[in-house]
């Protein structure tokens, strides 16, 4: 056996365990969900579950609500996290040191505990509502238990990790490049759009992928601080599967959620393949 063939077999042996884990944990469940979602009440196969998913008024409103919450939350998380990462990279002082010490704390608080704290703080009779009521509001303001509650929870859960991810990318921006741009008269906006953003674009794309997938598949916060109707797809899926015992419709919802995540993942993989092709050429 040639040396090249031995290397090929060694590489295959190293990759095979990860490939098998991927097949059994991801690929086979996806295929099973697709098969289950296409099964009708008579045991045959058709698209009746998907037709119901997109024609039923409640299900359609759940899909629209999920997309609205996911898009709004993702944009806010990425915007706030990027601003924090840029601020901490190019500034110093008490405020920066305070942010660096505090912004990672939410990562170490369990989701259930954090959500319970939000209910105590922002609930209809929570601390914030009571303060606003005594400041002149005619009634206790409704801060959570609607779309706002889910978005606030998503900000709490996702900003620390996203800021850490983008901050690592910002640390890779050379000071010499920024100083050279300033020396030739480049303004802040030009430096940002011509230097900082292109150098951190890859990490930003990774952050978009993780944030979008994490929010669209979330359950704890939407279940505890979200409205009864419409619901996020994760909560609605649990209701359909656990309460109504409709496995086929729940599988259709799960596979549809997978397709939404795959749509975002496609752009990330396409960007990585394009970058790898440019690197090899």
DSSP string, 17-84: HHHHHHIIIIIHHHHHHHHHHTB-TTS-B-SHHHHHHHHSHHHHHHHHHHHHHHHHHHHHHHHHHHHH
Of 264, 259, 268, 280, nearest in space to 34 by CA: 259
Whether the CB-CB separation of 53 and 249 falls below 8 Å is answered with yes
Residues shown for the chain: 281
Share of the chain above pLDDT 90, in %: 33
Q: Would you give the distance in Å from CA 126 to the centre of its chain?
A: 28
Q: Is the pLDDT of residue 1 over 70?
A: no
β-sheet bridge partners, residue 45: 39
pLDDT at position 68, please?
A: 95
Cβ atoms within 10 Å, residue 35: 13
Per-residue model confidence (pLDDT) at position 71: 95
Does pLDDT of 46 surpass 80? yes
Q: What is the pLDDT of residue 279?
A: 65
Query: Taking 90 as the threshold, does the pLDDT of residue 151 lie above it?
Result: yes
Mean pLDDT, range 54-70, rounded to an integer:
94
Q: Looking at residues 187-209, what average pLDDT do you find?
A: 87
End-to-end CA distance of the chain: 32
Burial tier of 170 (Cβ tally within 10 Å: 0-12, 13-18, 19+): buried
pLDDT score recorded for residue 271: 75
Q: What is the pLDDT of residues 72-101, one digit of tens each?
A: 999 999 999 999 999 998 888 888 888 888
Q: What's the pTM value of the predicted model, to 2 decimals?
A: 0.85
* pLDDT at residue 268 tops 90: no
Residue 159 has pLDDT above 90, yes or no: yes
What are the chain's domains? 57-280 (1.10.3720.10)
Identify the sign of the CA torsion 234, 50, 68, 30: positive
Alpha-carbon gap, residue 195 to 178, rounded angstroms? 8
Question: Is residue 216 within 8 Å of 233, Cβ to Cβ?
Answer: yes
Confidence of residue 10 (pLDDT cuts 50, 70, 90): confident
Average pLDDT rounded to a whole number, residues 45-62? 92
At residue 143, φ and ψ (nearest 5 deg) are -100, -40
Distances (CA, A) of 115 to 112, 121, 229, 253, 278: 5, 10, 19, 25, 45
Q: What is the pLDDT of residue 138?
A: 67
Q: Which two tokens stand for residue 256?
A: 């549809």
- Can you read off the two tokens belonging to residue 107? 């990562």
pLDDT at 77: 96
Pairwise pLDDT comparison (271 vs 117), residue with the higher score: 117
CB-CB contact of 71 with 238 (8 Å): no
3 state DSSP class of 39: strand
Does residue 53 carry a pLDDT above 80?
yes
Complete DSSP assignment for 107-128 = GGS-HHHHHHHHHHHHSTTSHH
pLDDT at 276 over 70: no
What was the pLDDT predicted at 11? Answer: 79
- The pLDDT tens digits for 215-248 are 998 999 999 998 888 999 999 999 998 888 889 9
Task: Report pLDDT for 23.
Answer: 87
Question: Rounded to the nearest 5 degrees, what angle is found at the Cα of 229, between the Cα atoms of 66 and 156?
Answer: 50
Q: Residue 174's pLDDT is what? A: 85
């Amino acid at each position: 056996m040639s040396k090249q063939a031995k290397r090929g077999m060694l590489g295959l042996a190293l990759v095979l365990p990860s490939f098998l884990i991927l097949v059994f944990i991801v690929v086979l469940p996806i295929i099973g969900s697709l098969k289950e979602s296409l099964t009708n009440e008579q045991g045959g196969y058709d698209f009746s579950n998907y037709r119901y998913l997109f024609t039923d008024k409640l299900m359609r409103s759940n899909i629209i609500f999920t997309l609205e919450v996911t898009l709004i939350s993702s944009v806010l998380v990425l915007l706030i996290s990027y601003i924090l990462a840029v601020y901490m990279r190019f500034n110093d002082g008490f405020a920066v040191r305070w942010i660096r010490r505090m912004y990672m704390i939410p990562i170490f608080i369990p989701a259930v505990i954090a959500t319970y704290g939000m209910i105590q703080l922002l609930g209809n009779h929570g601390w914030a509502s009571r303060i606003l009521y005594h400041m002149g509001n005619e009634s206790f303001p409704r801060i959570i238990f609607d779309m706002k509650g889910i978005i606030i929870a998503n900000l709490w859960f996702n900003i620390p990790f996203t800021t850490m991810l983008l901050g690592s990318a910002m640390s890779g921006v050379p000071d010499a490049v920024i100083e050279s741009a300033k020396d030739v008269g480049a303004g802040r906006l030009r430096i940002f759009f011509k230097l900082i953003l292109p150098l951190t674009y890859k990490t930003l794309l990774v952050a978009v992928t993780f944030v979008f997938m994490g929010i669209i598949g979330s359950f704890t916060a939407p279940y505890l601080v979200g409205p009864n109707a419409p619901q996020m797809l994760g909560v609605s899926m649990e209701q359909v599967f656990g309460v109504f015992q409709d496995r086929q419709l729940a599988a259709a919802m799960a596979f549809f959620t997978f397709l939404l995540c795959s749509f975002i993942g496609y752009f990330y993989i396409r960007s990585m393949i394009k970058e790898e092709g440019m690197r090899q050429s």
